[in-house]
Amino acid sequence: MVLLFQEVFYSLKNINLLFLSLACFYTLVLIFHINHIESYSQNAAIEFYKEKESEDCYIYPHGFKTYAHYFYSRKSYPLLPDPNNRNWLLTGQTDKPVYIVSKIHKVHELNQLPDLQELYRKNGFVFYRRN
Would you state the pLDDT for residue 7?
Answer: 63
Would you state the pLDDT for residue 127?
Answer: 92
Helix (H) or strand (E) holding 108, with range, is helix 107-110
For 11-30, write each residue's pLDDT tens digit: 777 788 888 989 999 998 88
For 30-58, write each residue's pLDDT tens digit: 888 877 777 778 888 899 999 988 888 88
Query: What is the CB neighbour count within 10 angstroms for residue 114?
Result: 6
Task: Give residue 93's Cα distance to chain centre.
Answer: 29
Q: In the structure, what pLDDT confidence band is assigned to residue 79 with cuts at 50, 70 and 90? A: very low
Q: In the structure, what pLDDT confidence band is assigned to residue 80 with cuts at 50, 70 and 90? A: very low
Q: In the structure, what pLDDT confidence band is assigned to residue 5 with cuts at 50, 70 and 90? A: low
DSSP 3-state helix, strand, coil percentages of the chain (rounded to 5)? 55, 20, 30
| Strand ranges inside the chain, DSSP E | 58-62, 98-103, 117-122, 125-130
